[in-house]
Amino acid sequence: MSGRLVSTDPATGAVVWEGAKSDPAAIADALSAARGASIGWADTPLAARVAIVRAYAERLATARLALAETISRETGKPRWEADQEVGSMIGKVAASVAAQTERAGSRETVSSFGRAVLRHRPHGVMAVLGPYNFPGHLPNGHIVPAVLAGDVVVFKPSEETPATGDAMAALWRQAGLPDGVLQIVQGGRDVGAALVAGDIDGLLFTGSGTAGAHLRRALVDRPHVIVALELGGNNPIIAWDGDPQAAASIVAQSAFATTGQRCTCARRLIVPDGAVGDAIVDAVAAYGDRIRIGRWDELPEPAMGPLISVAAADRAREAVAGLIAAGGGVIRAFESIPDRSGAFVTPAILDVTGLRVPDEEIFAPVLQVTRVADFDAAVAAANATRYGLAGGLVSDDRDLWDRYARRARAGVLNWNRPTTGAAGTMPFGGVGASGNHRPSAFYAADYCAYPVASFEADRVVDQSADWRGVG
Ligand code: NAD
Ligand code: SIN
Protein backbone atom coordinates (compact mmCIF):
# COMPACT_ATOMS: atom_id res chain seq x y z
CA MET A 1 0.00 0.00 0.00
CA SER A 2 2.88 2.36 0.66
CA GLY A 3 4.80 3.94 -2.20
CA ARG A 4 4.42 6.98 -4.41
CA LEU A 5 1.34 8.35 -6.11
CA VAL A 6 1.67 10.48 -9.23
CA SER A 7 -1.06 12.31 -11.13
CA THR A 8 -0.47 13.51 -14.65
CA ASP A 9 -2.11 15.83 -17.15
CA PRO A 10 -3.85 13.45 -19.55
CA ALA A 11 -3.31 15.88 -22.42
CA THR A 12 0.46 16.12 -22.06
CA GLY A 13 1.63 13.49 -19.59
CA ALA A 14 3.17 16.26 -17.44
CA VAL A 15 3.34 15.44 -13.75
CA VAL A 16 0.75 17.46 -11.78
CA TRP A 17 1.19 15.97 -8.29
CA GLU A 18 3.54 13.53 -6.69
CA GLY A 19 3.52 12.35 -3.11
CA ALA A 20 3.46 9.46 -0.73
CA LYS A 21 0.53 7.06 -0.68
CA SER A 22 -0.97 6.80 2.76
CA ASP A 23 0.27 3.66 4.46
CA PRO A 24 -1.73 1.69 7.05
CA ALA A 25 -0.20 3.69 9.93
CA ALA A 26 -1.17 6.99 8.29
CA ILE A 27 -4.74 5.76 7.72
CA ALA A 28 -5.01 4.58 11.33
CA ASP A 29 -3.64 7.95 12.53
CA ALA A 30 -6.16 9.84 10.40
CA LEU A 31 -9.05 7.76 11.74
CA SER A 32 -7.92 8.15 15.32
CA ALA A 33 -7.46 11.92 14.93
CA ALA A 34 -10.93 12.05 13.39
CA ARG A 35 -12.43 10.08 16.28
CA GLY A 36 -10.65 12.40 18.71
CA ALA A 37 -12.12 15.47 17.02
CA SER A 38 -15.63 14.08 16.58
CA ILE A 39 -17.18 14.94 19.95
CA GLY A 40 -15.82 18.47 19.99
CA TRP A 41 -17.07 19.10 16.46
CA ALA A 42 -20.49 17.59 17.15
CA ASP A 43 -20.76 19.86 20.20
CA THR A 44 -19.76 22.95 18.24
CA PRO A 45 -22.94 25.02 17.82
CA LEU A 46 -24.49 24.81 14.36
CA ALA A 47 -24.02 28.56 13.86
CA ALA A 48 -20.26 28.17 14.36
CA ARG A 49 -20.13 25.24 11.95
CA VAL A 50 -22.10 27.25 9.39
CA ALA A 51 -19.67 30.17 9.79
CA ILE A 52 -16.70 27.93 8.99
CA VAL A 53 -18.43 26.36 6.02
CA ARG A 54 -19.25 29.82 4.70
CA ALA A 55 -15.61 30.86 5.22
CA TYR A 56 -14.67 27.83 3.13
CA ALA A 57 -16.98 29.08 0.34
CA GLU A 58 -15.18 32.43 0.49
CA ARG A 59 -11.83 30.66 0.21
CA LEU A 60 -13.11 28.73 -2.77
CA ALA A 61 -14.19 31.97 -4.42
CA THR A 62 -10.78 33.53 -3.81
CA ALA A 63 -8.95 30.45 -5.08
CA ARG A 64 -11.40 29.83 -7.95
CA LEU A 65 -8.94 30.32 -10.81
CA ALA A 66 -6.16 28.30 -9.22
CA LEU A 67 -8.43 25.44 -8.18
CA ALA A 68 -10.04 25.32 -11.63
CA GLU A 69 -6.58 25.12 -13.16
CA THR A 70 -5.63 22.24 -10.87
CA ILE A 71 -8.84 20.41 -11.85
CA SER A 72 -8.16 21.05 -15.53
CA ARG A 73 -4.58 19.84 -15.30
CA GLU A 74 -5.54 16.65 -13.48
CA THR A 75 -8.65 15.73 -15.47
CA GLY A 76 -7.98 17.43 -18.80
CA LYS A 77 -11.36 19.16 -18.72
CA PRO A 78 -11.51 22.57 -20.40
CA ARG A 79 -10.85 25.62 -18.25
CA TRP A 80 -14.44 26.90 -18.61
CA GLU A 81 -15.82 23.58 -17.41
CA ALA A 82 -13.44 23.36 -14.44
CA ASP A 83 -14.50 26.90 -13.56
CA GLN A 84 -18.14 25.76 -13.60
CA GLU A 85 -17.16 22.91 -11.31
CA VAL A 86 -15.68 25.29 -8.75
CA GLY A 87 -18.82 27.41 -9.11
CA SER A 88 -20.88 24.35 -8.18
CA MET A 89 -18.65 23.79 -5.15
CA ILE A 90 -19.27 27.33 -3.97
CA GLY A 91 -23.01 27.02 -4.61
CA LYS A 92 -23.08 23.79 -2.62
CA VAL A 93 -22.50 25.71 0.60
CA ALA A 94 -25.66 27.83 0.54
CA ALA A 95 -27.71 24.88 -0.73
CA SER A 96 -26.37 22.65 2.04
CA VAL A 97 -27.05 25.22 4.75
CA ALA A 98 -30.64 25.43 3.49
CA ALA A 99 -30.90 21.63 3.30
CA GLN A 100 -29.52 21.25 6.82
CA THR A 101 -32.30 23.47 8.15
CA GLU A 102 -35.04 21.97 6.03
CA ARG A 103 -34.17 18.28 6.28
CA ALA A 104 -32.00 17.86 9.37
CA GLY A 105 -32.92 20.72 11.67
CA SER A 106 -34.76 20.62 14.97
CA ARG A 107 -38.36 21.39 15.79
CA GLU A 108 -40.75 21.34 18.72
CA THR A 109 -44.44 20.70 18.90
CA VAL A 110 -46.57 20.55 21.99
CA SER A 111 -48.80 17.56 22.62
CA SER A 112 -50.80 16.30 25.59
CA PHE A 113 -47.85 14.03 26.38
CA GLY A 114 -45.39 16.90 26.62
CA ARG A 115 -43.12 18.73 24.24
CA ALA A 116 -42.27 16.62 21.20
CA VAL A 117 -38.74 17.58 20.17
CA LEU A 118 -37.00 16.44 17.00
CA ARG A 119 -33.24 16.78 16.77
CA HIS A 120 -30.64 15.41 14.39
CA ARG A 121 -27.30 14.08 15.57
CA PRO A 122 -24.17 13.48 13.51
CA HIS A 123 -23.07 9.90 12.88
CA GLY A 124 -19.42 10.54 13.77
CA VAL A 125 -16.54 9.57 11.48
CA MET A 126 -17.38 9.52 7.78
CA ALA A 127 -15.14 8.09 5.06
CA VAL A 128 -15.57 9.92 1.77
CA LEU A 129 -14.27 8.25 -1.40
CA GLY A 130 -14.29 10.46 -4.48
CA PRO A 131 -14.29 9.81 -8.23
CA TYR A 132 -12.11 11.58 -10.79
CA ASN A 133 -14.70 13.04 -13.14
CA PHE A 134 -15.71 15.87 -10.77
CA PRO A 135 -12.82 15.62 -8.31
CA GLY A 136 -13.88 18.80 -6.49
CA HIS A 137 -17.65 19.02 -6.83
CA LEU A 138 -18.60 15.43 -5.98
CA PRO A 139 -16.56 14.86 -2.80
CA ASN A 140 -17.52 18.42 -1.85
CA GLY A 141 -21.15 17.30 -2.12
CA HIS A 142 -20.52 14.82 0.70
CA ILE A 143 -18.00 16.79 2.76
CA VAL A 144 -19.94 20.08 3.09
CA PRO A 145 -23.18 18.48 4.38
CA ALA A 146 -21.22 16.13 6.64
CA VAL A 147 -19.20 18.94 8.22
CA LEU A 148 -22.38 21.02 8.62
CA ALA A 149 -24.12 18.09 10.31
CA GLY A 150 -21.28 17.82 12.84
CA ASP A 151 -19.59 14.76 11.35
CA VAL A 152 -15.85 14.50 10.89
CA VAL A 153 -14.44 13.26 7.61
CA VAL A 154 -11.54 11.23 6.32
CA PHE A 155 -11.42 11.90 2.59
CA LYS A 156 -9.66 9.84 -0.04
CA PRO A 157 -9.68 11.57 -3.41
CA SER A 158 -9.47 9.50 -6.57
CA GLU A 159 -5.96 8.26 -7.24
CA GLU A 160 -6.25 10.19 -10.54
CA THR A 161 -6.85 13.53 -8.80
CA PRO A 162 -4.84 13.84 -5.57
CA ALA A 163 -3.84 17.47 -6.22
CA THR A 164 -7.48 18.58 -6.27
CA GLY A 165 -8.09 16.77 -2.98
CA ASP A 166 -5.05 18.39 -1.39
CA ALA A 167 -6.11 21.82 -2.61
CA MET A 168 -9.58 21.36 -1.10
CA ALA A 169 -8.15 20.27 2.24
CA ALA A 170 -5.88 23.35 2.29
CA LEU A 171 -8.88 25.66 1.72
CA TRP A 172 -10.76 24.04 4.61
CA ARG A 173 -7.73 24.62 6.87
CA GLN A 174 -7.57 28.26 5.78
CA ALA A 175 -11.28 28.57 6.56
CA GLY A 176 -10.52 27.68 10.17
CA LEU A 177 -11.78 24.10 10.29
CA PRO A 178 -10.35 22.63 13.51
CA ASP A 179 -7.65 19.98 13.30
CA GLY A 180 -8.98 16.47 12.83
CA VAL A 181 -12.35 17.46 11.36
CA LEU A 182 -11.19 16.84 7.79
CA GLN A 183 -8.29 14.48 7.19
CA ILE A 184 -7.03 13.49 3.81
CA VAL A 185 -5.46 10.19 2.81
CA GLN A 186 -4.04 9.55 -0.63
CA GLY A 187 -3.89 6.42 -2.72
CA GLY A 188 -5.89 3.97 -4.77
CA ARG A 189 -8.36 1.19 -4.06
CA ASP A 190 -6.17 -0.43 -1.43
CA VAL A 191 -6.10 2.79 0.57
CA GLY A 192 -9.86 3.14 0.11
CA ALA A 193 -10.37 -0.44 1.28
CA ALA A 194 -8.19 0.09 4.36
CA LEU A 195 -10.10 3.24 5.23
CA VAL A 196 -13.45 1.49 4.90
CA ALA A 197 -12.19 -1.42 7.03
CA GLY A 198 -11.26 1.05 9.80
CA ASP A 199 -13.26 2.64 12.61
CA ILE A 200 -15.87 4.57 10.62
CA ASP A 201 -19.54 5.34 11.19
CA GLY A 202 -20.35 6.12 7.58
CA LEU A 203 -19.16 5.66 4.02
CA LEU A 204 -20.10 8.33 1.51
CA PHE A 205 -19.12 6.98 -1.86
CA THR A 206 -19.33 8.32 -5.39
CA GLY A 207 -17.96 6.01 -8.05
CA SER A 208 -18.64 3.05 -10.26
CA GLY A 209 -21.42 0.52 -9.78
CA THR A 210 -18.89 -2.27 -9.44
CA ALA A 211 -16.94 -0.57 -6.66
CA GLY A 212 -20.13 0.50 -4.90
CA ALA A 213 -21.54 -3.03 -4.87
CA HIS A 214 -18.20 -4.36 -3.64
CA LEU A 215 -18.08 -1.84 -0.80
CA ARG A 216 -21.64 -2.64 0.22
CA ARG A 217 -20.68 -6.30 0.48
CA ALA A 218 -17.56 -5.36 2.44
CA LEU A 219 -19.78 -3.61 5.01
CA VAL A 220 -22.52 -6.20 5.23
CA ASP A 221 -21.48 -7.30 8.74
CA ARG A 222 -21.39 -3.71 9.99
CA PRO A 223 -25.00 -2.57 9.59
CA HIS A 224 -24.40 0.38 11.91
CA VAL A 225 -22.20 2.00 9.25
CA ILE A 226 -24.38 4.26 7.13
CA VAL A 227 -23.57 3.80 3.46
CA ALA A 228 -24.51 6.29 0.74
CA LEU A 229 -23.69 5.04 -2.74
CA GLU A 230 -23.82 7.40 -5.72
CA LEU A 231 -23.05 5.12 -8.66
CA GLY A 232 -23.05 4.99 -12.43
CA GLY A 233 -25.72 4.33 -15.01
CA ASN A 234 -26.43 3.10 -18.51
CA ASN A 235 -28.67 6.07 -19.16
CA PRO A 236 -31.21 6.31 -21.98
CA ILE A 237 -32.41 9.33 -23.86
CA ILE A 238 -35.50 8.96 -26.05
CA ALA A 239 -35.51 11.46 -28.93
CA TRP A 240 -38.97 11.15 -30.44
CA ASP A 241 -39.89 14.25 -32.40
CA GLY A 242 -39.26 17.97 -32.72
CA ASP A 243 -36.68 19.89 -34.71
CA PRO A 244 -33.84 17.41 -35.41
CA GLN A 245 -31.11 20.07 -35.03
CA ALA A 246 -32.44 21.15 -31.65
CA ALA A 247 -32.87 17.53 -30.61
CA ALA A 248 -29.29 16.84 -31.66
CA SER A 249 -27.96 19.62 -29.44
CA ILE A 250 -29.70 18.03 -26.44
CA VAL A 251 -28.66 14.47 -27.29
CA ALA A 252 -25.04 15.33 -28.11
CA GLN A 253 -24.61 17.31 -24.92
CA SER A 254 -26.19 14.47 -22.94
CA ALA A 255 -23.80 11.93 -24.47
CA PHE A 256 -20.57 13.83 -24.93
CA ALA A 257 -20.39 16.46 -22.16
CA THR A 258 -17.24 16.10 -20.07
CA THR A 259 -16.00 13.72 -22.79
CA GLY A 260 -18.74 11.29 -21.78
CA GLN A 261 -17.34 11.12 -18.26
CA ARG A 262 -20.46 12.06 -16.32
CA CYS A 263 -22.56 9.58 -14.46
CA THR A 264 -25.58 11.27 -16.02
CA CYS A 265 -24.35 11.04 -19.60
CA ALA A 266 -26.76 9.40 -22.02
CA ARG A 267 -25.23 6.14 -23.21
CA ARG A 268 -28.23 4.98 -25.25
CA LEU A 269 -30.22 6.96 -27.80
CA ILE A 270 -33.67 5.57 -28.56
CA VAL A 271 -35.41 6.87 -31.69
CA PRO A 272 -38.45 5.93 -33.77
CA ASP A 273 -37.75 3.59 -36.64
CA GLY A 274 -38.04 5.46 -39.95
CA ALA A 275 -37.43 8.91 -41.36
CA VAL A 276 -37.91 10.88 -38.10
CA GLY A 277 -35.41 8.69 -36.25
CA ASP A 278 -32.98 8.80 -39.18
CA ALA A 279 -33.09 12.60 -39.24
CA ILE A 280 -32.37 12.78 -35.51
CA VAL A 281 -29.47 10.30 -35.69
CA ASP A 282 -27.96 12.11 -38.70
CA ALA A 283 -28.24 15.44 -36.88
CA VAL A 284 -26.59 14.02 -33.74
CA ALA A 285 -23.72 12.65 -35.83
CA ALA A 286 -23.28 15.97 -37.63
CA TYR A 287 -23.40 17.83 -34.31
CA GLY A 288 -20.74 15.48 -32.90
CA ASP A 289 -18.50 16.28 -35.87
CA ARG A 290 -18.59 19.96 -34.86
CA ILE A 291 -17.41 19.37 -31.30
CA ARG A 292 -14.06 21.05 -30.73
CA ILE A 293 -11.65 18.76 -28.90
CA GLY A 294 -8.52 20.10 -27.28
CA ARG A 295 -6.28 20.77 -24.30
CA TRP A 296 -7.81 22.53 -21.31
CA ASP A 297 -6.06 25.84 -21.97
CA GLU A 298 -6.34 25.95 -25.75
CA LEU A 299 -8.06 28.76 -27.65
CA PRO A 300 -10.58 28.75 -29.14
CA GLU A 301 -12.03 26.86 -26.19
CA PRO A 302 -12.66 23.17 -26.70
CA ALA A 303 -15.95 21.53 -25.73
CA MET A 304 -14.25 18.24 -24.95
CA GLY A 305 -10.89 17.47 -23.41
CA PRO A 306 -9.21 14.07 -23.28
CA LEU A 307 -10.39 11.13 -21.23
CA ILE A 308 -8.78 10.85 -17.81
CA SER A 309 -6.00 8.58 -19.08
CA VAL A 310 -4.74 6.47 -21.93
CA ALA A 311 -5.82 3.42 -19.92
CA ALA A 312 -9.41 4.76 -19.79
CA ALA A 313 -9.33 5.28 -23.57
CA ASP A 314 -8.09 1.71 -24.02
CA ARG A 315 -10.89 0.35 -21.82
CA ALA A 316 -13.51 2.27 -23.81
CA ARG A 317 -11.93 1.13 -27.11
CA GLU A 318 -12.22 -2.46 -25.96
CA ALA A 319 -15.90 -1.96 -25.06
CA VAL A 320 -16.60 -0.37 -28.45
CA ALA A 321 -14.81 -3.26 -30.20
CA GLY A 322 -17.12 -5.61 -28.28
CA LEU A 323 -20.19 -3.76 -29.57
CA ILE A 324 -18.90 -3.93 -33.13
CA ALA A 325 -18.09 -7.63 -32.75
CA ALA A 326 -21.69 -8.14 -31.56
CA GLY A 327 -22.88 -6.64 -34.85
CA GLY A 328 -23.02 -2.92 -33.95
CA GLY A 329 -23.07 -0.64 -37.00
CA VAL A 330 -20.55 2.21 -36.89
CA ILE A 331 -22.18 5.59 -37.49
CA ARG A 332 -19.16 7.43 -36.11
CA ALA A 333 -16.00 5.55 -35.11
CA PHE A 334 -14.25 5.85 -31.75
CA GLU A 335 -10.89 7.19 -32.82
CA SER A 336 -7.68 8.55 -31.39
CA ILE A 337 -6.61 11.97 -32.57
CA PRO A 338 -3.37 12.32 -34.53
CA ASP A 339 -0.61 14.27 -32.74
CA ARG A 340 -2.53 14.17 -29.47
CA SER A 341 -1.96 12.00 -26.42
CA GLY A 342 -3.70 8.62 -26.47
CA ALA A 343 -6.27 9.94 -23.98
CA PHE A 344 -7.90 12.08 -26.70
CA VAL A 345 -10.76 10.37 -28.50
CA THR A 346 -13.57 11.33 -30.86
CA PRO A 347 -17.24 10.81 -30.00
CA ALA A 348 -18.51 7.46 -31.23
CA ILE A 349 -22.03 6.52 -32.34
CA LEU A 350 -23.02 2.90 -32.96
CA ASP A 351 -26.30 1.39 -34.09
CA VAL A 352 -27.10 -1.57 -31.86
CA THR A 353 -30.75 -2.02 -32.85
CA GLY A 354 -31.93 -5.56 -32.17
CA LEU A 355 -28.61 -6.69 -30.69
CA ARG A 356 -27.90 -8.17 -27.28
CA VAL A 357 -25.27 -5.83 -25.89
CA PRO A 358 -23.86 -5.66 -22.35
CA ASP A 359 -25.81 -3.53 -19.89
CA GLU A 360 -22.62 -1.74 -18.83
CA GLU A 361 -21.65 1.89 -18.45
CA ILE A 362 -18.99 2.87 -20.99
CA PHE A 363 -17.49 5.92 -19.28
CA ALA A 364 -16.51 7.71 -22.48
CA PRO A 365 -18.20 9.58 -25.37
CA VAL A 366 -19.86 6.50 -26.85
CA LEU A 367 -23.54 6.55 -27.82
CA GLN A 368 -25.50 3.42 -28.74
CA VAL A 369 -28.54 3.92 -30.97
CA THR A 370 -31.64 1.73 -30.79
CA ARG A 371 -34.56 2.17 -33.21
CA VAL A 372 -38.00 1.11 -32.03
CA ALA A 373 -41.47 0.77 -33.52
CA ASP A 374 -43.55 2.82 -31.07
CA PHE A 375 -43.39 4.84 -27.86
CA ASP A 376 -44.22 1.89 -25.61
CA ALA A 377 -41.23 0.07 -27.08
CA ALA A 378 -39.11 3.19 -26.52
CA VAL A 379 -40.01 3.29 -22.83
CA ALA A 380 -39.41 -0.45 -22.51
CA ALA A 381 -35.99 -0.05 -24.17
CA ALA A 382 -35.15 2.89 -21.90
CA ASN A 383 -36.00 0.84 -18.82
CA ALA A 384 -34.12 -2.24 -20.04
CA THR A 385 -31.17 -1.68 -17.72
CA ARG A 386 -30.26 -2.81 -14.24
CA TYR A 387 -29.22 0.78 -13.52
CA GLY A 388 -31.55 3.71 -12.96
CA LEU A 389 -29.68 6.96 -12.65
CA ALA A 390 -30.70 9.36 -15.43
CA GLY A 391 -33.07 9.41 -18.36
CA GLY A 392 -34.37 11.93 -20.83
CA LEU A 393 -37.08 12.58 -23.36
CA VAL A 394 -36.80 14.92 -26.33
CA SER A 395 -40.25 15.63 -27.69
CA ASP A 396 -42.72 18.46 -28.20
CA ASP A 397 -45.51 16.23 -26.92
CA ARG A 398 -46.47 16.81 -23.29
CA ASP A 399 -48.51 13.60 -23.20
CA LEU A 400 -45.43 11.57 -24.09
CA TRP A 401 -43.51 13.25 -21.28
CA ASP A 402 -46.29 12.42 -18.83
CA ARG A 403 -46.20 8.78 -19.96
CA TYR A 404 -42.44 8.56 -19.74
CA ALA A 405 -42.26 10.33 -16.37
CA ARG A 406 -44.81 7.87 -14.97
CA ARG A 407 -43.06 4.75 -16.21
CA ALA A 408 -39.35 5.57 -16.26
CA ARG A 409 -37.17 4.10 -13.55
CA ALA A 410 -34.52 6.72 -12.87
CA GLY A 411 -33.77 9.31 -10.20
CA VAL A 412 -32.86 12.13 -12.62
CA LEU A 413 -35.37 12.51 -15.43
CA ASN A 414 -35.26 15.46 -17.82
CA TRP A 415 -37.58 16.63 -20.60
CA ASN A 416 -36.06 18.59 -23.48
CA ARG A 417 -32.95 19.23 -21.40
CA PRO A 418 -29.70 17.24 -21.45
CA THR A 419 -29.65 14.27 -19.10
CA THR A 420 -26.57 15.86 -17.53
CA GLY A 421 -28.58 18.75 -16.10
CA ALA A 422 -28.75 18.51 -12.31
CA ALA A 423 -29.13 21.10 -9.55
CA GLY A 424 -27.74 21.25 -6.03
CA THR A 425 -31.13 22.44 -4.85
CA MET A 426 -32.66 19.08 -5.83
CA PRO A 427 -31.94 15.51 -4.73
CA PHE A 428 -29.52 13.60 -6.93
CA GLY A 429 -29.41 9.83 -7.05
CA GLY A 430 -30.62 6.75 -8.77
CA VAL A 431 -32.46 3.49 -8.36
CA GLY A 432 -31.46 -0.06 -9.30
CA ALA A 433 -27.71 -0.60 -9.50
CA SER A 434 -27.14 3.16 -9.50
CA GLY A 435 -27.24 3.52 -5.75
CA ASN A 436 -28.78 2.42 -2.49
CA HIS A 437 -31.65 4.89 -2.18
CA ARG A 438 -29.63 7.53 -0.40
CA PRO A 439 -29.72 10.40 -2.88
CA SER A 440 -27.16 13.14 -2.55
CA ALA A 441 -27.17 16.89 -3.38
CA PHE A 442 -30.08 18.52 -1.46
CA TYR A 443 -30.88 15.24 0.28
CA ALA A 444 -27.30 14.63 1.46
CA ALA A 445 -28.36 16.14 4.79
CA ASP A 446 -30.47 12.99 5.31
CA TYR A 447 -27.54 10.58 5.36
CA CYS A 448 -25.21 12.85 7.34
CA ALA A 449 -27.30 12.80 10.53
CA TYR A 450 -29.80 10.60 12.26
CA PRO A 451 -33.07 11.81 13.80
CA VAL A 452 -33.71 11.67 17.55
CA ALA A 453 -37.32 12.00 18.71
CA SER A 454 -37.92 13.06 22.35
CA PHE A 455 -40.80 13.88 24.65
CA GLU A 456 -39.73 16.41 27.25
CA ALA A 457 -41.12 18.05 30.39
CA ASP A 458 -39.22 20.62 32.45
CA ARG A 459 -40.24 19.21 35.81
CA VAL A 460 -40.70 15.81 37.38
CA VAL A 461 -44.48 15.31 37.53
CA ASP A 462 -46.53 12.35 38.62
CA GLN A 463 -47.55 10.33 35.55
CA SER A 464 -50.18 8.17 37.30
CA ALA A 465 -53.10 9.96 35.67
CA ASP A 466 -51.93 8.65 32.27
CA TRP A 467 -51.66 5.06 33.45
CA ARG A 468 -54.86 3.33 34.44
CA GLY A 469 -55.17 0.49 36.87
CA VAL A 470 -52.64 1.47 39.52
CA GLY A 471 -54.24 0.84 42.95
P1 NAD B 1 -14.27 4.18 -9.10
O2 NAD B 1 -15.38 3.40 -8.56
O3 NAD B 1 -13.23 3.47 -9.88
O4 NAD B 1 -13.49 4.94 -7.92
C5 NAD B 1 -14.14 5.84 -7.04
C6 NAD B 1 -13.36 5.92 -5.75
O7 NAD B 1 -13.45 4.69 -5.06
C8 NAD B 1 -11.87 6.17 -5.94
O9 NAD B 1 -11.44 6.98 -4.90
C10 NAD B 1 -11.28 4.78 -5.86
O11 NAD B 1 -9.94 4.75 -5.45
C12 NAD B 1 -12.18 4.13 -4.85
N13 NAD B 1 -12.34 2.69 -5.03
C14 NAD B 1 -12.62 2.04 -6.19
N15 NAD B 1 -12.75 0.73 -5.95
C16 NAD B 1 -12.57 0.54 -4.63
C17 NAD B 1 -12.57 -0.60 -3.78
N18 NAD B 1 -12.77 -1.82 -4.26
N19 NAD B 1 -12.34 -0.42 -2.45
C20 NAD B 1 -12.14 0.81 -1.96
N21 NAD B 1 -12.10 1.93 -2.72
C22 NAD B 1 -12.32 1.79 -4.03
O23 NAD B 1 -14.91 5.37 -9.96
P24 NAD B 1 -14.16 6.41 -10.91
O25 NAD B 1 -13.68 5.67 -12.09
O26 NAD B 1 -13.23 7.26 -10.13
O27 NAD B 1 -15.38 7.37 -11.31
C28 NAD B 1 -16.23 7.10 -12.38
C29 NAD B 1 -17.47 6.36 -11.90
O30 NAD B 1 -18.15 7.13 -10.94
C31 NAD B 1 -18.48 6.13 -13.02
O32 NAD B 1 -19.01 4.86 -12.90
C33 NAD B 1 -19.53 7.18 -12.76
O34 NAD B 1 -20.79 6.87 -13.30
C35 NAD B 1 -19.53 7.23 -11.28
N36 NAD B 1 -20.07 8.51 -10.79
C37 NAD B 1 -21.26 8.51 -10.11
C38 NAD B 1 -21.81 9.74 -9.73
C39 NAD B 1 -23.11 9.83 -8.99
O40 NAD B 1 -23.31 10.83 -8.31
N41 NAD B 1 -24.01 8.87 -9.09
C42 NAD B 1 -21.15 10.93 -10.01
C43 NAD B 1 -19.93 10.86 -10.68
C44 NAD B 1 -19.38 9.65 -11.05
C1 SIN C 1 -22.17 13.59 -12.87
O2 SIN C 1 -22.96 13.67 -13.82
O3 SIN C 1 -21.16 12.83 -12.92
C4 SIN C 1 -22.37 14.46 -11.66
C5 SIN C 1 -23.43 15.44 -11.94
C6 SIN C 1 -23.61 16.48 -10.86
O7 SIN C 1 -23.59 16.20 -9.64
O8 SIN C 1 -23.78 17.64 -11.23
120 CB-near residues (< 8 Å, 6+ apart): 104, 105, 106, 149, 449, 450, 451, 452
Res 1 pLDDT > 80 = no
Instruction: Name the DSSP letter for residue 305.
Output: -
Q: What is the pLDDT of residues 204-216, one digit of tens each?
A: 999 999 999 999 9
Helices (H) and strands (E) in the chain, counts: 14, 19
Average of pLDDT values for 337-364?
98
Q: Tell me, what's the pLDDT at 468?
A: 86
Nearest ligand by distance to the CA of 89: 2
List, chain by chain if needed, residues with CB within 6 Å of any ligand 2 atom. 133-134, 262-264, 420, 422, 428
How many whole angstroms separate alpha carbon 119 and alpha carbon 107? 7
Q: How far is CA 130 from CA 143, 164, 330, 412, 437, in A?
A: 10, 11, 34, 20, 18
Instruction: Locate the ligand 2 atom nearest the alpha carbon of residue 264 and give its number.
Output: 2
pLDDT in tens, 30-55: 999 999 999 999 999 999 999 999 99
What is the rounded distance in angstroms from the CA atom of residue 118 to the CA atom of residue 452?
A: 6
Q: Residue 195 burial (CB < 10 Å; 0-12/13-18/19+)?
A: buried
SS3 442: coil
* pLDDT, tens only, 223-281: 999 999 999 999 999 999 999 999 999 999 999 999 999 999 999 999 999 999 999 99
> Using 50, 70 and 90 to split pLDDT, how confident is the model at 101?
very high
- Using the predicted structure, report yes or no on whether residue 143 has a pLDDT greater than 90: yes
Alpha helix segments (H runs only) across 151-265: 162-174, 189-197, 209-218, 244-256
User: What is the per-residue pLDDT across 381-426, written as a single tens digit (0 to 9) for each?
Assistant: 999 999 999 999 999 999 999 999 999 999 999 999 999 999 989 9
**C-alpha angle 367/79/56, rounded to 5°?**
110
Closest CA to 7 of 78, 89, 85, 70: 70
Q: What is the pLDDT of residues 61-97, one digit of tens each?
A: 999 999 999 999 999 999 999 999 999 999 999 999 9
Angle 28-31-37 from CA coordinates, rounded to 5°: 140
- 2: pLDDT strictly greater than 80: no
To the query of whether residue 263 is one of the catalytic residues in this protein, the response is: yes
Spell out the domains of the chain, with CATH numbers in brackets: 4-231+435-455 (3.40.605.10), 235-415 (3.40.309.10)
pLDDT at 114: 86
- What does the alpha-carbon distance between residue 443 and residue 318 come to, in Å, rounded to a whole number? 37
Q: Is 159 in the pocket of ligand 1 (CB under 6 A)?
A: yes
Percent with pLDDT over 90 in the chain: 96
pLDDT band at 307 (very low <50, low <70, confident <90, very high): very high
Which band of pLDDT confidence, cut at 50, 70 and 90, is reported for residue 220?
A: very high
Phi, psi of 350 (to 5 degrees): -130, 140
Give 348-415 as a DSSP string: EEEE-TT---------SSEEEEEEESSHHHHHHHHH-SS--SEEEEE-S-HHHHHHHHHH---SEEEE
Which pLDDT value is given to residue 427? Answer: 97
> Could you identify the atom of ligand 1 that is nearest to the CA of residue 434?
41
Rounded Cα distance between 302 and 11, Å, is: 13
Separation between Cα atoms, residue 196 and residue 207, nearest integer Å: 14
- How remote is the CA of residue 329 from the centroid of ligand 1, in Å? 30
Predicted pLDDT at 402: 98
Q: What integer pLDDT is reported at residue 465 of this predicted model? A: 82
Terminal-to-terminal C-alpha distance of the chain: 69
232 lines ligand 1 (CB under 6 A): yes
| pLDDT above 80: residue 173 | yes
Q: How confident is the model at residue 448 (pLDDT cuts 50, 70, 90)?
A: very high
265 in catalytic set: no
The pLDDT of residue 303 is above 90: yes
pLDDT at 111 (0 to 100): 85
Q: What is the pTM of this model?
A: 0.97
Confidence check: pLDDT of 23 > 80: yes
How high does pLDDT run on average in the chain? 97
Ligand 2 centroid to 261 CA: how many Å?
Answer: 9
If you average pLDDT over residues 293-322, what whole number do you get?
Answer: 98
| pLDDT at residue 9, as a whole number | 98
